[in-house]
Amino acid sequence: MTDDALTGADAPVVVIGAGLAGLTTALHLADHVPVVVLAKRSLSEAATAWAQGGIVGVLGADDSIDSHVRDTQDAGAGLVDEHTARFIAENSAQAIRWLVEQGVAFSEDPEGPLGLHLTKEGGHAVRRIAHAADATGLAIHQVLLQAARRHPRITLRERWMAVDLITSRLLKRSESARCYGVYALDIDSDQVQTLPARAVVLATGGLGKVYRYTSNPDTATGDGIAMAWRAGCRVGNMEFIQFHPTCLYHPQERSLLITEALRGEGAHLRVPGLEGEAARFMPRHDARAELAPRDIVARAIDFEMKKHGVDHVWLDATHLGEDFLKSHFPTIHARCLSLGIDIARQPIPVVPAAHYTCGGVVTDLQGTPSAKRPTPACTVPIDWRAIHCWNVWWWGKRVRRPSATRMLP
């Protein structure tokens, strides 16, 4: 690499990851600087497209910032950074409005805020979740991906796997820690390429694939966290792996999430082999029953599986009716039916599965990383706020669904 290339003066911003975080950042940056987005596999394989339930926004007349923050703190068992939670809650409605402006087709309700239908899930006191039936992530990802494809200053590279950050430490330069770009493997040519960058954005997702049962795609292997660590950035809260309570238990499918919204609409968890009220176990574990936060429900399922010696529990939605299930949960209904499970007539076998990596690279509210060493090694000087780049946060145990509002202007 030449000295001129290392300066990054004419280089693009490189965004590693083509999910909601990466595409949102790219779209906000591209009006000001050229952007290159790297996707480890195809552009359609991001975890975003797998998300079902919806996005939290403080939108309804019966809702408030304080209520959302309280729910977040409660679900986080007192470990939540209140300042961060409040900042996200205060900006959540703006994030959803931006998505609506981009053309995301959320489920509608003429009488709802912004004309949106809001649903309720575990850990929330009120209905505050905007959704697109039961395929919210796919609806969002398709719209943002189309917008990125159209933008003349965004270059999308499929099957480019980031290998490492190019830092002054890696280059053995005696200067303040700095990131100059990325080494990336072009999978099709089997060549490692050098990508100079004026700044690098890590939007690489979690590490769910280290677990046997996970809701994550095969690309979720923690690459970005490892690269940041090697570059000298601090990581934190890696012990906080959120388990989604209800992943389909089936020999042909180990990553099919059964959305929490199904329980929000009244589905019950039951122990196989037991009858009547004895089979339904969540009221014995928490007063909120199936609407308790995820960690409580996941632990309850694990407890009942061990207590009764079963491989799974039942999620029973049969009492909701076939018409309701087809209209509100068409994706789950069709997918389960293809596997021989008619959710309108039989319960769904489910188990907890690794879902959300709550820890990660330690940053401030501007997305700037903290360093293990005296000087941060992960950024080139750039005025992110001046170009309205959206931010990313990690904190403790998350309440349901701030994940998709983790990028805010």
Catalytic machinery residues: 294
Gap between the Cα atoms of 90 and 111, Å rounded: 23
Max CA distance (Å), the chain:
73
CB within 8 A of 296, min separation 6: which ones? Answer: 285, 286
CB within 8 A of 281, min separation 6: which ones? Answer: 269, 270, 271, 300, 304, 313
Gap between the Cα atoms of 325 and 216, Å rounded: 24
Token reading at 33: 């600087």
Gap between the Cα atoms of 195 and 165, Å rounded: 10
Quick one: DSSP state of residue 368?
P
Token reading at 349: 């076998």
Gap between the Cα atoms of 222 and 205, Å rounded: 7
Neighbours of 53 (CB within 10 A): 24
Give the amino acid at 11.
Answer: A
The closest alpha carbon to 162, from 17, 27, 30, belongs to 17
CB within 8 A of 273, min separation 6: which ones? Answer: 308, 310
Count of H-run helices and E-run strands, the chain: 11, 16
Gap between the Cα atoms of 343 and 199, Å rounded: 48
Query: What radius of gyration do the chain's Cα atoms show?
Result: 22
Token reading at 78: 């007192």
